[in-house]
Amino acid sequence: MAAPTVDWDYVERAKSGELDLRWLREWNSEWGVKATPSRVGLTMRDIAIGSYGEIPETAPRRTMAPRGSEVDADVPDMGYTLNSKTDVWADNVMDLYEEGVSRQWSATRDIPWSEIPEIDPDLEHAMCQLCTLLSEVEMIASDFPAKWMWRINHDYVEAKMFLATQIMDEARHTEVFRKRALANGGGLGKAKAVTESFLKLVLDAENYAQGSALMHILGEGLVLSLFRAGELISPSPVEKKIFRLCMQDEARHVAYGTMHLRYALAEDPDRIEEFHQYLDGGEEMISALFATPEVVEPIAVLAAGSVDGAAVMGGQAADMLLGRVIEEYLQRCDRAGIDRRSRIKIPDVLGNYDAAALGVTSDAAVSGLN
């Protein structure tokens, strides 16, 4: 495409007072469409009015022009590859963006770091190992959206804006768990290849749909359930606050992923096998994580309150938590419109869930050590 050139004739006319003014007189916008602020202020939903609120099924152009503006015919092609609403949209995305903006917090200021008590060394180690894992996995949820964001058509700008809030949220999660590992003398623990393999699966996803299913639904869903169990595994009120604040953020990311998958499947139910296959692969990796000492044992020790307690209980302290993780995952899949009960690859003996009670029938799930 040829670079734009200076229109010197226009410059001369304008300098002599002959303004162009076609931008003013030939204005085809929805004059008179006036957004009314809601109780909290002027939200993205408040301005999704008239033609401005119409989200095209297929983007007519690949430009950065604001949706609803009058676009020059010769605008350059930005090369976007996600040009359909089903690629990225979720019906709750505008609200999630607003919530993401309004509920930002500071890992520096909002955590009472000086109030972490002296903790039994084993529990401190367990907390630090868990923080190492979390600091490691959180950043994938920045890297993955960042990798795909520029490919998303600007007509779906609200989805891009939401992902921008997620990228900031996950930077803060990486930060807060790194800070917790270093705040009480424990330091960072072990980073495992099995964890990195799951992160690579997400980062290397062939398309946004695959990566979003693996990350928003499966990975972040499991992390959300873990944060929800913060009461059970926090050695002090400081960690409880960390988990509670992270949980708010994580719930938004999972809500986007769930509603995005729901939208994609509602628009094209024939894609369900595609998504089943994405989750098959992801769940197999999660199974390996659930059989990794550095992943499950810190949770068991924290939940039991001691190493001896965790050993005596044979992991039962973590059972309830992991069982809830799987239960919530299956419910999340239900909400997204994909029933995983006949497909789930996480064996019940690893996920510590009651397959019969949850209606799980897949061979992979019930053929573990039982």
Residue 233's SS3 state is helix
Among 173, 241, 260, 343, binds Fe ion (CB under 5 A): 173
Please report whether residue 253 would count as binding Fe ion according to CB under 5 A.
Answer: yes
The whole-angstrom separation of Cα 220 and Cα 222 is 5
Both structure tokens of 246: 């992270």
**DSSP for 106-129?**
-TTTSS-GGGPPP--HHHHHHHHH
The whole-angstrom separation of Cα 264 and Cα 228 is 27
Please report whether residue 216 would count as binding Fe ion according to CB under 5 A.
Answer: no
Taking phi first (over 0 means left), then psi (-120 to 50 degrees means alpha), and beta for anything else, what does residue 55 get? beta
Which among 60, 226, 237, 219 has a CA at the least distance from the CA of 143?
A: 219
The window from 9-17, 29-37, 173-181, 299-307 that contacts Fe ion (CB under 5 A) reads 173-181
Least Å distance between CB 366 and Fe ion? 30
Kindly report the length of the chain. 370
192 neighbors 236 (Cβ within 8 angstroms): no
Please report whether residue 250 would count as binding Fe ion according to CB under 5 A.
Answer: yes
- Residue given tokens 């939200």 in the structure block: 43
The whole-angstrom separation of Cα 27 and Cα 3 is 26
Which among 324, 314, 293 has a CA at the least distance from the CA of 194?
A: 293
The window from 103-111, 132-140, 260-268, 310-318 that contacts Fe ion (CB under 5 A) reads 132-140
**DSSP for 157-210?**
HHHHHHHHHHHHHHHHHHHHHHHHHHHSS-------HHHHHHHHHHHT-SSHHH
The window from 25-33, 96-104, 253-261, 262-270 that contacts Fe ion (CB under 5 A) reads 253-261
Nearer to Fe ion, 85 or 253 (CB): 253
The window from 48-56, 168-176, 205-213, 229-237 that contacts Fe ion (CB under 5 A) reads 168-176
Least Å distance between CB 165 and Fe ion? 10
State how far the alpha carbon of 79 is from the alpha carbons of 60, 64, 95, 101, 249, in Å.
13, 11, 28, 28, 31
Nearer to Fe ion, 134 or 355 (CB): 134
Least Å distance between CB 162 and Fe ion? 12
- Residue given tokens 């309004």 in the structure block: 102
Nearer to Fe ion, 80 or 144 (CB): 144
The site that binds Fe ion (CB under 5 A) totals a number of residues, namely 7
- The pattern of x and - marking residues 86 through 125 that bind Fe ion according to CB under 5 A reads ----------------------------------------
Please report whether residue 228 would count as binding Fe ion according to CB under 5 A.
Answer: no
Least Å distance between CB 192 and Fe ion? 19
Among 90, 96, 107, 141, binds Fe ion (CB under 5 A): 141
The window from 21-29, 167-175, 305-313, 314-322 that contacts Fe ion (CB under 5 A) reads 167-175
Nearer to Fe ion, 145 or 347 (CB): 145
220: buried, middle or exposed (CB in 10 Å: 19+, 13-18, 0-12)? buried
The window from 129-137, 138-146, 305-313, 343-351 that contacts Fe ion (CB under 5 A) reads 138-146
Question: DSSP letter at 84?
Answer: B
Nearer to Fe ion, 248 or 306 (CB): 248
Residue 238's SS3 state is helix
Nearer to Fe ion, 180 or 253 (CB): 253
Please report whether residue 220 would count as binding Fe ion according to CB under 5 A.
Answer: yes
Least Å distance between CB 117 and Fe ion? 26
Both structure tokens of 189: 């623990």
Least Å distance between CB 170 and Fe ion? 5
Instruction: List residues near Fe ion by CB under 5 A.
Output: 138, 141, 170, 173, 220, 250, 253
